[in-house]
Chains A and B, each alone.
Chain A
Amino acid sequence: MNFTRRYILHYICIVLIIVTSCTRFEAVRDPYTLYIHISAEPGHLNPITSNEAIASSINSYIYETLLDRDYDTLELKPQLATKWEISPDKLRYRFYLKKNIYWNDGKPFTADDIVYSFKVIKDPKVANAPLKVYYIDVKSVKKLSPYIVEFTYAKPYFLALEICGSIPIVPKHIFDDGTDFNTHKNNRFPIGTGPYKFVAWNTGKTIELVVNDRYWGQKPDIKRIVYKIIPEPNVALQMLKKGELDVMSLRPIQWVRQTNSNHFQESFYKFMYYQPYYNYIGWNARNPLFKDKNVRKALTMLINRQAILDSLLFGLGTVVTGPFYIHDKYYNHDIKPLPYDPVKAKEILRKAGWSDSNGDGILDKNGIPFKFTLTIASASKFAERLATILKEDFAKVGIYMDINRYEWAVFVNKVDKRDFDAVTLGWSLSWEGDPYQLWHSSQVKAGSNFCYFVNAEADEIIENARKEFDAQKRIKMYRRFHEIIHDEQPYTFLYCTPALVVVSKRFDNVLVHKRGLNYTEWKVTTQ
């Protein structure tokens, strides 16, 4: 009996928190503060060891690097460097740094910080495997003077300028104090050179930044940025409507059905734009079921991708066929998605040796039944809905699929250990892609190639493309690579979905660039 009572109390508590946090506000509203919704809390904010999307978006206002991409043209332009020189053999990259740049604590920024950051990136004890991939071929970073650094490559790499120019830079005088880099106390108290400086982190509630008075560039109009951590999207939407949030990413259903009133449109801008991203179902080729590419093709043909897109995601997105961003030059538009065709899929499976020989309703081959588990992350409602639909559709042709839902950290761990049959996930891509990290056969053991995609021709293309500086030739190579991937179907590629963002009309000059939104250019309207 006291059992029951305790839970009732538990519920009232939750409700109370929601109610009070909804009514409390109003009093404190500084017009120069920007409130941004984030749905999950980053582990820490160290740009060298973090690979979370949320952390890198916060860090882009705190930390800077040598070169930056233009928001519209995506061309590289100077940030902390004033200019750069490339040796004729394309092996040496020399950067001249801006002078009079200061870290948030007042110490000057010099070439030593870059040399130290590079040392840390290469340090095998530092946990940043995905980042290390891109610096494999960098032999050394030398300080030629306090304001000149030189990167030396072992062999040419077409992305070298971008990789050198975007090296994450942390202050040497803070981090080089003999303590462990992975657990350094400043991982949760970042000190950078960017337009904003970090002031406070209330665990589970907010992360706060204020404008950096020492900033070398133009100072932004918004004086303070508060990231509010709210895991439940509906609570966040209610808070947005009450004016407690200024920026929020919507889910498709919120975009389509919950934010269309005139009242809402009067106070908020709605922006939809595409960014390099796709999601997919990965078939673990270590599993004998998925070894045969024809089976993987048949599975793709059993998934009604367009209908699922139209109903679960309200048509917001596009079906994709390969490993590049759909609006990227490398994407091969000659390849059409495999059609949804259960009859043909069944035919392909039969040819591949799968038939129901014992009459139990499940396909089998050499006595092995076609049974597997799809692993999904419990945070993703889309994955769960997709999974239940697939389970039904697969059952109709005699494939038995179980669904296993895991909490995010456990889920990531399972994927890293390759402990899954099939998995659904998404990739956020960089603007200039190199498929090495995801598709090269050297990455099957510890890297990001966890579905065991091994193909000699693909390896060759990936390796040669790294050395190819002619963009046109690279396009040709990557389009061929796209064909191979489509033919092999290591993933069932799903969708490229757009970012759906609402912004309060309190701000002016809110522009949607190719790279997305940039808070530093927003102006506060004075009403």
Chain B
Amino acid sequence: MKGYWSIVWKRFTQNRLAVVGLCIVIFLFIIALCAPLIANNKPYILIYNDTVYFPIFFEYKEFSGTDFKKIEGYKIFPPIPYSYSEYDLTAIVLPPSAKHVLGTDEQGRDLAARMIYGTRVSIFVGFVAVFIYVTIGIIIGSMAGYYGGWVDIIISRIIEIVMCFPTFFLILTILALWGQSLLNVMIVIGITGWTGIARIVRGEFFKLREQDFVLASKALGARDYWIIFKHILPNAMAPVMVSATFGIASTILIESSLSFLGFGVQPPTPSWGDILSQSRDFIDFAWWLTLIPGLAIFITITSYNLVGEGLQDALDPKQYR
């Protein structure tokens, strides 16, 4: 007897594109997690005056403010030996080379290092913002779906009102009022994006609340929150997960757009949209500054969408192949 999730997994793996997408997503995750180990201007190991140091992992007071590249001694640097904010005014807007794998930007900062740290921003914003709005959406949607009646009418109207706002301009307005920071971007996307999830959850609850297992637990005297979270919600999660996956893709895109317009992260925090925006000055001769962040955004969004579609097909019970 196979479990539900193993069936879903099997059906998911039959979709080649979705698996490729998932691999890319996992790859990006690893890059984001290990960013300081991949791109850093501190060496992993430094042997200096017969003492062994691990500058990436520990702070040493005797080295504070010193450039490790200028220290004599045995040292092993990460593959990209630059930090994302380290500049070099003698090396501005250089094409990709052995020294700078993806070239440099207008301040002589290493593009590869900035792209890698940019992955962190993208994924972090994507997940946190979607987590916020999925939470809000589930709570509001399940209330509407479970209680129905007046509660449902009021909540549905609120959803419709929120949906009527042109979201992107609402986000711009709120950021102008609150000031720009990564946290505000995540909160704003979170509190404006929940309507889709709420509608899906509401619909699922309508479908499920009359089912026998719900009636049974009601008959046994279970409380509302127990029924909502323990019985109905797990059965309503499949479409929410699909929607959340697509949501991450669109959130990454929104964050890039905001950063592109100068409303996202504060400098010098790297974000793909911000790198792309800076590249506009050099668009006719510095192809790497446009192509690489553009490609990164494109591949990431596509991967999340492929995973989302794969998940959708795998979770849909009507689509037995």
Contact = CB atoms under 8 A, between A and B. Distances in A.
A74 interface: no
Which 5 A-B residue pairs are closest in the complex by CB-CB distance? Answer: A311-B89, A388-B268, A3-B250, A4-B250, A378-B262
B86 interface: yes
Contacts of B221: none
Contacts of B87: 388-389, 392
A4 B266 CA distance: 25
B92 to A, nearest CB: 6
15 contacts: A1-B246, A3-B193, A4-B253, A4-B305, A7-B250, A234-B283, A253-B106, A253-B281, A308-B89, A312-B106, A361-B59, A388-B85, A389-B107, A397-B65, A405-B267
B254 A7 contact: yes
A381 interface: yes
A391 B64 contact: no
B285 A257 contact: yes
A387 B85 CA distance: 11
Nearest to A235: B280
Contacts of B305: 4
Interface string B176-208: 100110000000000001001000000000000
Interface of B: 59, 61, 64-65, 85-87, 89-90, 92, 106-108, 167-168, 176, 179-180, 193, 196, 243, 246-247, 249-250, 253-254, 257, 262, 266-268, 278, 280-285, 305
B168 A10 contact: yes
Given A3-B196, A257-B285, A392-B86, A232 B253 contact: no
Contacts of B254: 3, 7
B154 to A, nearest CB: 23
A410 interface: yes
A253 B87 CA distance: 18
- In this complex, the member of B65, B267, B268 whose beta carbon has the largest number of chain A beta carbons within 10 angstroms is B267
Given A232-B280, A405-B180, A1 B89 contact: no
Contacts of A402: 266
Given A3-B193, A388-B107, A311 B92 contact: yes
A428 interface: no
A87 interface: no
A406 B266 CA distance: 10
Contacts of A475: none
Contacts of A392: 85-87, 268
A2 interface: yes
A328 B266 CA distance: 38
B281 A381 contact: yes
B212 to A, nearest CB: 32
Contact of B247 (A3, A311, A361, A387): A3
Given A311-B108, A403-B268, A4 B176 contact: no
Interface of A: 1-4, 6-7, 10, 232-234, 251, 253, 257-258, 304, 307-308, 310-312, 356, 359, 361, 378, 381, 384-385, 387-389, 391-392, 395-398, 402-407, 410
B250 A391 contact: no
Contacts of A407: 176
B10 to A, nearest CB: 25
B253 A403 contact: no
Contacts of A257: 285
B65 A385 contact: no
Given A1-B196, A310-B89, A258 B284 contact: yes
A71 to B, nearest CB: 33
A4 B246 contact: yes
Given A1-B250, A312-B106, A359-B61, 20 more contacts: A3-B167, A3-B254, A7-B168, A7-B250, A7-B254, A311-B92, A311-B107, A361-B59, A381-B281, A384-B267, A389-B107, A392-B85, A392-B87, A396-B65, A397-B65, A398-B64, A398-B65, A403-B266, A403-B267, A406-B179
A118 to B, nearest CB: 39
A2 B196 contact: yes
Contacts of A387: 267
A100 to B, nearest CB: 51
Given A1-B196, A253-B282, A385-B107, A391 B176 contact: no
A166 to B, nearest CB: 37
A385 B106 contact: yes
A406 B180 CA distance: 8
Contacts of A3: 167, 193, 196, 246-247, 250, 254
A398 to B, nearest CB: 7
Contacts of A2: 196
Contacts of B283: 234
A181 B17 CA distance: 66
Contacts of B266: 402-405
Given A312-B107, A392-B87, A410-B176, A1 B267 contact: no
A402 B108 CA distance: 20
A398 B281 CA distance: 33
Contact of B89 (A307, A361, A384): A307
A407 B283 CA distance: 24
Contacts of A405: 180, 262, 266-267
A368 B107 CA distance: 32
